[in-house]
Structure formats: structure tokens, C-alpha cells
């Protein structure tokens, strides 16, 4: 797989994730707007996100992400110079 193909595939994955994030944001906005008590729902949602156990995983995940980047960069380098 050449570097151009690899970059194109990476761009496709990033675009798909961006689309999912945009859809999630729209869905949350719709939930807030249609809730009978918008402010209370918004406050509860913000509190839940702020206290999410996922926030603490960033530090634990960083070495894994760094390793993933190193492997990806290594594999991308195997295709040779363009």
C-alpha cells in the first residue's frame, strides 16, 4: 500500500468519525431543545460528562496511543519514499 493510499484511507476514517461526532452533537442539541426542563437537563448532562469515568482514561490511554502512532508511522515508512 503506497503512502497516498494510506493517507486517503486515514482521511476517510477521520471524515467518518467527524460525521459521527456531528450527528451526536445534533442529537444532544435536539434532546435538550425538546426536553420539558431544558436547563435542568442541560445541567445534568454537563455534570454527567464532567464526572464521566472516561475522563480519567486519557492518562492511561496516552501510552497506548503513542505506541499506536509509532507503529503507524513505522508501517507508513515501509512503503518507501514518494
Domain boundaries, the chain: 3-77
Q: Work out whether the CA dihedral 69, 72, 77, 78 comes out positive or negative.
A: positive
pLDDT at 34: 92
CB 45 within 8 A of CB 28: yes
pLDDT at 21: 85
Distance separating alpha carbons of residues 29 and 45, to the nearest angstrom: 11
pLDDT at 55: 67
> How does pLDDT run along the chain (82 residues), one tens digit per residue?
566 777 788 888 888 888 888 888 888 888 888 999 988 888 888 888 778 776 667 677 777 777 777 776 676 666 555 4
Which pTM was predicted?
A: 0.51
Amino acid at each position: 500500500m503506497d503512502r497516498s493510499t494510506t493517507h486517503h484511507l486515514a482521511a476517510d476514517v477521520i471524515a467518518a468519525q467527524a460525521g459521527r461526532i456531528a450527528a451526536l452533537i445534533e442529537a444532544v442539541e435536539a434532546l435538550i431543545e425538546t426536553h420539558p426542563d431544558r436547563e435542568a437537563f442541560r445541567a445534568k448532562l454537563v455534570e454527567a460528562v464532567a464526572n464521566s469515568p472516561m475522563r480519567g482514561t486519557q492518562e492511561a490511554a496516552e501510552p497506548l496511543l503513542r505506541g499506536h502512532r509509532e507503529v503507524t508511522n513505522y508501517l507508513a515508512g515501509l512503503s518507501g519514499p514518494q
